[in-house]
Amino acid sequence: MAYQNLIPPVNFGYVEEDLYRFGQPNELNFPFVETLGLKCVVWVAYEEPNQKFLNFIDDQEIQLCHIGSERMSSTDSITEETIVDSLNIILNKSNYPLAIVCNVGRHQTGTLVGCLRKLQGWNLASIFDEYRRYAGPKVRLINEQFIELFDTDLVSIPLDPPKWMR
């Protein structure tokens, strides 16, 4: 058997146990993504994933939850409704292992993870530090403001959430 390098997708990160984040993977990343044993991908972008990624998801029998396509335009930021819908999927432990994915894994993914961190009770300085690590020089202050103003009361925590949410 030939040795195969495992190359993570752009902006790959471990959020919590069995919860990952990254930008849309390409063929070089598929062997790495396969090792995650994903059950669900939450795709938070206006655009559809590319066909090769869709084929990979289908081949791996991974559920694709495309959130936001009807509520976002190609220029809009993520919406409150998109975040709440996404968090409902993320808080359902039957969807695990799960990945949060957008085109580059930076803005929509970062905003969603930031809102999850706020729901977990993280302080804003820590949330923004994590957001900025993935956004790099392309930080969007509007996303940080969105996270800061996000009303966590809009999210219902299930009776049996993932253990990191208890």
Give per-residue pLDDT as tens, 138-155: 999 999 999 999 999 999
51 in a domain, yes or no? Answer: yes
Residue span of the structural domain in which 33 resides = 13-106
Apex CA 162: angle with CA 157 and CA 165, to 5°?
A: 60
Residue 4: the pLDDT is 72
Structural domain includes residue 84: yes
124 found inside a domain: no
What CATH number does the domain containing 48 carry? 3.90.190.10
For 73, counting Cβ atoms within 10 Å of its Cβ (0-12 exposed, 13-18 middle, 19+ buried), the class is exposed
User: What confidence category does residue 1 fall into, taking pLDDT thresholds of 50, 70 and 90?
Assistant: very low
- Give the number of domains in the chain: 1
Q: Which residues are catalytic?
A: 102
Residue at 101 is within a domain: yes
**Over pLDDT 70: what percentage of the chain?**
92
Whether this prediction's pTM lies above 0.85 is answered by yes
Does residue 113 lie in a domain region? no
Note whether residue 149 is domain-resident. Answer: no
- 165, part of any domain: no
What was the pLDDT predicted at 76?
56
